Each structure stands twice: as structure tokens, then as C-alpha cells.
A and B are shown apart, each in its own frame.
Chain A
Amino acid sequence: MTPLDVMWVGLGGGLGSLLRWSTGRVIGDHYHGDFPVGTFLINVSGAFAIGYLSVLFKVDWRDRYGTALNAGVLTGVLGGYTTFSSMQLDAVKLAGKRGGVPAASYLLLSVLVGQLAAAFGGALARVQG
């Protein structure tokens, strides 16, 4: 890993985090229910993007740096945009308001739909060639 890789990861991570924060704000302005729609949509769209871009540019899932694409966009932007920590905090809050079943359902739904989105993104890139 070179200093250039570190710069791409940092720059991408900063931009991705800003995108997450602003997207969450926009969704939060329009939706006021208990289900964490903002984090859910952010994570699912990020999962779609990583599947699509990884297959389109033939990046192995273990290759996290070396080019501007994998360090800046995949590791940086998408890693900064999507969040595991907020998903878990959302789940704890949901458990407090609605109980354990909705919280567990939210986590499982996030992972299932996220995996489908990533697989769909990859399939789309394969069809495109």
C-alpha cells in the first residue's frame, strides 16, 4: 500500500461519508417512521454499486487498493457511504421502541436485500459485458 492509496482511501471515504450524511438528511426530511429507511436505502444502493463496479472493472473482492478505482471508489467512497455501525445503532433503537423482532427483522432484511442488490449489480455488469 502506497501513500497514494492512502490518499485515495481518505479522499473517497470523506466524500462517501458526506454523501451518506446528506442522503440521510434528505430521507429524514421526508420520512418520519420508526423503520430506519435512510440507512437501509444507503446500504442497499452501496451494495448494488460495489457489485456492479467490481464485476464491470474485474476487481477481485479482496483487492482493496492499488488503483484509483479500487482504493478511491470501492474502498473509499462506497466504504464511507455505506455503514455497518449506524445499521446496528438503528437496530438497538428499534429494539427499544418496537421490540426485538422488528430489530432482528431489520438487520436480516438489510443483509438479504443488500446481498440481492450486490448480486444484481454484478449480474447487470456481466450482461453489459
Chain B
Amino acid sequence: MVNIVILVFVGGALGAMLREFSMLMVPNLADNFPLDILVANLMAAFLLGLVTALHRRQIASEGAEMLIGTGIAGGLSTFSSFVYGAVVLMSASTASAVVASVYVVISLVLGYIAVTVGLRLGGQGSAPM
């Protein structure tokens, strides 16, 4: 129990710092499309799929799954900034409302694909889930 608390805390801290660093490196697009948040969320979705599949195959331990899946991937990804950014853009102008809608749909579709790719990659050589 204490171990899990430490793993989730440390993983979450690392994930959140990783999100901030990666957001600093991703350029902002001219039309306000939040590419930085999208990139952080997609990396996290892929990572969570990967570690989940490796945990199912017992290659990744329970602790590794907690640290990487619940902690790092959870801290790296954000839902609050994702939807709040969309809300701000939607209320700004018609043009940015279009950008916001595209942003939401692309995030949902690519995020789903990222988890699936992570699961497939981590589950290679084993029976499908």
C-alpha cells in the first residue's frame, strides 16, 4: 500500500514534468491548434497501452504498471487542459470553433489508435486479449 502510494506519486510527478517539458518543445500552431497537449496525450496513451499489455504478459510487474501506467502515463496526459482549451477556442470565434472541433475529434481518434498500437506492440507473440 505504501509502496503503491510512492510509485503513483513519483510516476505522476515525473509524468507531469515530462508533459511540461514536451509541451515546451512542441511548437504552437498559428491557428491556436493545441498541438502540444495533443502530443503529450498521444504519448501517454501509447505508453499506457504498452505497459498494460506487458503487464498482462507478466513481463511488467504490478509495481511497474503502477509507476508507468497509473503514474507516468496518467501524469503525462491531461483531460482538464484538453477540454478547457477546446471550450476557450469554441467561444472565441467561428474559425477557432472549427479548429476546436477538429482538435477534439482528432484527439479522440488518434488517442484510441495510440492505445491500440501500444497494446498490440506490448502483446506481440501472445494471444489477443
Contacts and interface: CB of A to CB of B under 8 A. Distances in A.
B13 A13 contact: yes
B79 A84 contact: yes
Given A79-B80, A84-B78, A114-B79, A89 B49 contact: yes
Given A65-B20, A89-B52, A115-B86, A13 B15 contact: yes
A125 interface: no
A1 interface: yes
A54 B107 CA distance: 23
A11 B16 CA distance: 9
B112 A1 contact: no
- Contact-size category for B: 35 or more
Contacts, number: 183
B45 A84 contact: yes
B108 interface: yes
Given A14-B13, A47-B80, A80 B74 contact: yes
B14 A10 contact: yes
B79 A76 contact: no
A67 interface: no
A49 B80 contact: yes
Given A10-B16, A85-B44, A20 B108 contact: no
B96 to A, nearest CB: 12
Contacts of B112: 88, 91-92, 107
A50 interface: yes
B17 interface: yes
B87 A12 contact: no
Interface residues of A, number: 53
Contacts of B33: none
Contacts of B84: 47, 50-51, 54, 61, 118
B76 interface: yes
A71 to B, nearest CB: 8
21 contacts: A6-B20, A10-B13, A14-B8, A20-B70, A50-B81, A61-B88, A74-B80, A75-B16, A79-B78, A80-B16, A82-B79, A83-B78, A84-B78, A84-B79, A84-B82, A85-B47, A89-B48, A89-B52, A92-B116, A96-B129, A114-B83
Interface of B: 4-5, 8-17, 19-20, 23-24, 41, 44-45, 47-49, 52, 69-71, 73-88, 90-91, 104, 107-108, 111-112, 114-116, 119, 129
